[in-house]
Each structure stands twice: as structure tokens, then as C-alpha cells.
Amino acid sequence: MTEIFVDADACPVKAEITRVAERHGIVTHIVSNSGFRPHPNPFIRNVVVSDKFDAADDWIVERIKPGDIVITADIQLADRCLKSGCVVIGNTGKPFTENSIGTALAMRELSSQLRDMGEIKGGGPSFSQADRSRFLNALEVAVQKMKRG
């Protein structure tokens, strides 16, 4: 049975994830290294990991199986999850795929180098309502696809 794993520390779409999970009766692991209010639905499982670097990522990777859905904005975690046969969706609804992950990793590295050199300042664009809608649609499509097998 498909489960959903959420890299939750900076995830802006937790409410959307829990709505979809409740509607479809899918066990969902909300993984964070900081505490948050428990969810009353037994399908929604709050997991608090240590604040060790990549603890949430490692917890997720150790438990996923092919066919699970992972929600993350972390490109390196997305790469690890794709290698395990999971469907991976970014917080803005953009899927990570075998075909796109190499480019995403390269762009991440380039951006990091440019920030270190002072060529780029600040973060990316702010999260929008269109991103939220795109995410919700992408998650629903992924769940429907997994349910069909």
C-alpha cells in the first residue's frame, strides 16, 4: 500500500497533504526535527527526529519503498528517493523525475557556488496560491495513479 512521506520542516503544503491523505485513507508520515501539534487522524503520523544534519532525510530514506510518494523541496533527498522507486513531488507541485533530477542537482550546485561568490543574494520566488493549487493537483494525480497500480 502506498504511503506518503513529507519532509515537513519548511513545507508550506502540510494542510493540503493531510486533506488528500484523509480523503484517500493513506498513511502519511509528517517528518520534522521540531515539534508540532499532533494530528487527530490516525492515518497522519507525526514523526519528530533529532536535529542532527539530514536526520529527517535519513529517516524517510530508511523507510520508503517503491511506489510511495515523497513530498520535499530538498533536491538531494529527491534524488535519494527516486533511486528507491518513489514518486517525488516538490512543494510547488513540480515532480522530480529520473529525467529532471540531474539538471536540478547541477542547478543547485551552480546556485550554491554563485551565492558563495556573492553573485546571488536572497532566496527564490515566494510561494504563491498558484504553487499551492499546482501542488494539490500533482498530489491528487500521483495518488490516483498509485491507486490504479
Q: Which residues contact 38 (CB under 8 A, 6 or more apart)?
A: 46
Q: Nearest Cα to 26, choosing from 56, 89, 68, 63? A: 68
**Would you say 11 and 71 are in contact if contact means Cβ atoms under 8 Å apart?**
yes
The CA distance from 87 to 81, in Å, is: 8
**What residue ranges define each of the domains in the chain, with the CATH number in brackets?**
4-148 (3.40.50)
Whole-model pTM: value is 0.86
In this prediction, residue 4 carries a pLDDT of 98
pLDDT tens digits for range 14-48? 999 999 999 999 999 999 988 777 788 899 999 99
More confident residue, 59 or 100: 59
The CA distance from 110 to 36, in Å, is: 34
In this prediction, residue 40 carries a pLDDT of 87
In this prediction, residue 102 carries a pLDDT of 64
Q: Count of residues for the chain? A: 149
Q: Nearest Cα to 76, choosing from 25, 3, 7? A: 7
